Amino acid sequence: MTRFVVKLGTSVLTAGTDRLHRPYFVELARQIVRLKADGHEVVLVSSGAIAAGKERLGADPRRRSNIPLKQVFAAVGQSRLMHIYEQIFDLYGLQVAQALLTRDDLRDRRRYLNARNTLTLCLAQGIVPIINENDAVATAEIRVGDNDNLSALVAGLIDADLLLILTDIAGLYSADPRTDPTAELLREVPVIDERIWAMAGGSGTHRGTGGMQTKIQAADLATRSGVAVVIAAGHEPDVIVRVANGERIGTYFPATTSHPDARQRWILAETVRHSRIVIDEGAAMALIQYGKSLLAAGIREVNGEFDRGQTVRIFDLAGREIARGLTQYRSSDLRLIAGLRSHQIGPVLGYDYGPEIVHRDDMVVLATKE
């Protein structure tokens, strides 16, 4: 049995038009029935709410809308989107469930575990959960922002084996295939390094939020969480069934770790994107080679704003990200105590949460021992 998360972008669900393309939903249902018959489990992360809202309200689909208006479109469109899933999947005897999440739901450990329970129980009952961001209520601070990253978070949340990101392009190319005739499709990406980030470039279509950039972010997070990723074209015939049968389609990213435990996945999921703690060589060695906690003395630089209890990114002097973990001190405090000995923390801040800035038990080391 394989547990799949299938991410469907707006451009796939509209088949490149300005409306949700009903025949695609039929095609989707047909493939999911086959997967389930083979004993697999499927969770969908579906965009398309905003497109559905525009369709319903008769808005010009190409016009950029401001955020409040987008939230109205999402509020109207989400129920319409689910209505289509309900109607069409019902014809194939598939039961669906809706879960709308924000980053905040995944940040709070109790809510995270609860979401995990609900989704796992749905799967156990043979129900197909369909997930989207809760766009109608989410503000910038609590949003994931794009469904590529959301799908990676969900894949980690439910311990999926494979995340299949379906989009309007056949996978990751060495250059932009729309403008560069020498662009080649990459079949497999064993590590996501600078070269790969450069290939991902920017931009996307006007219909979805993410371009290749957010897909690579998603692949990065998912593969670190022990989930393999495939990026492929949604219009490829029988793509879901064929990927499930092990056929190589699109670009494949193998998982870079075997499944980390649930707590580690949660730590990774919650990362403050712009956080950056730079540590010196000694501290890096202590973390990677000796399995130690991070202390104030080894900290050289603190960038970004974060609170106590959030997941921060830890870099070495060469700019390599070596770990992520829950910080015991907020960013403004850390700037004051960076480089100090542990006994100086109390006198400088007037309080003290202990000598560990990031405790070993709250840390996921990304770099490997040399």
Site string for ligand GLU, 143-182 (x = CB under 6 A): ---xx-----------------------------------
Burial of 113 (0-12, 13-18, 19+ CB in 10 A): middle
Question: Of 48 and 234, which CB lies nearer to ligand GLU in the complex structure?
Answer: 48
Write down the residue that tokens 């630089």 correspond to.
301
Q: Does 234 bind ligand GLU (CB under 6 A)?
A: no
Cβ proximity to ligand GLU: between 51 and 277 the closer is 51
Q: Is 167 annotated as a binding residue?
A: yes
Assigned token pair, 79: 């129920």
Q: How far is CA 229 from CA 22, 155, 242, in A?
A: 26, 10, 14
| Residue 148, marked binder | no
- Please report, as a single letter, which amino acid is at residue 243: V
Tell me if 47 is assigned to a ligand binding site. yes
In whole angstroms, the minimum distance from the beta carbon of 53 to ligand GLU comes to: 8
Strands, sheet with 299-303, edge to edge from the N-terminal-most edge strand:
299-303, 276-279, 311-315, 321-326, 363-365
| Of 152 and 294, CB closest to ligand GLU | 152
Could you say whether residue 71 binds ligand GLU (CB under 6 A)?
Answer: no
Closer CB to ligand GLU, 209 or 251, in the complex: 209
Could you say whether residue 9 binds ligand GLU (CB under 6 A)?
Answer: yes
Identity at 200, one-letter amino acid code:
A
Q: Does 256 bind ligand GLU (CB under 6 A)?
A: no
Is 332 annotated in some ligand binding site? Answer: no
- If one asks whether residue 260 binds ligand GLU (CB under 6 A), the answer comes out as no
214 is in an annotated binding site: yes
Among all chains, which residue has been given the structure tokens 């580690």?
264
Please report, for residues 105, 161, 315, the alpha-carbon distance to residue 114 in angstroms, rounded to integers and kept in the order given.
9, 20, 32
- Asked if 133 is part of the footprint of ligand GLU (rule: CB under 6 A), the reply reads yes
Answer for the pair 34, 184: CB distance below 8 angstroms, yes or no: no
Which one, 62 or 110, has the nearer CB to ligand GLU? 62
Q: Is residue 226 near ligand GLU by the rule CB under 6 A? A: no
Q: Which residue has the tokens 């540590």?
A: 279
Subset of residues 46 to 65 that bind ligand GLU, contact rule: CB under 6 A:
47-51
Name the region of 109 (left: φ>0; alpha: ψ -120 to 50; beta: rest).
alpha
C-alpha count within 13 angstroms, C-beta hemisphere, residue 369 = 4
Least distance to ligand GLU, CB of residue 303, Å: 27
Q: Are 144 and 221 in contact (CB under 8 A)?
A: no
194-213 residues near ligand GLU, rule: CB under 6 A: 208-210
Residue 316 annotated as binding site: no
Whether residue 77 contacts residue 56, with contact meaning beta carbons closer than 8 Å, is answered with yes
Q: Which residues bind ligand GLU (CB under 6 A)?
A: 9-10, 47-51, 132-133, 135, 146-147, 208-210
| Residues in the annotated binding site | 7, 47, 135, 147, 167-168, 209-215
| Residues in the annotated binding site for substrate | 47, 135, 147
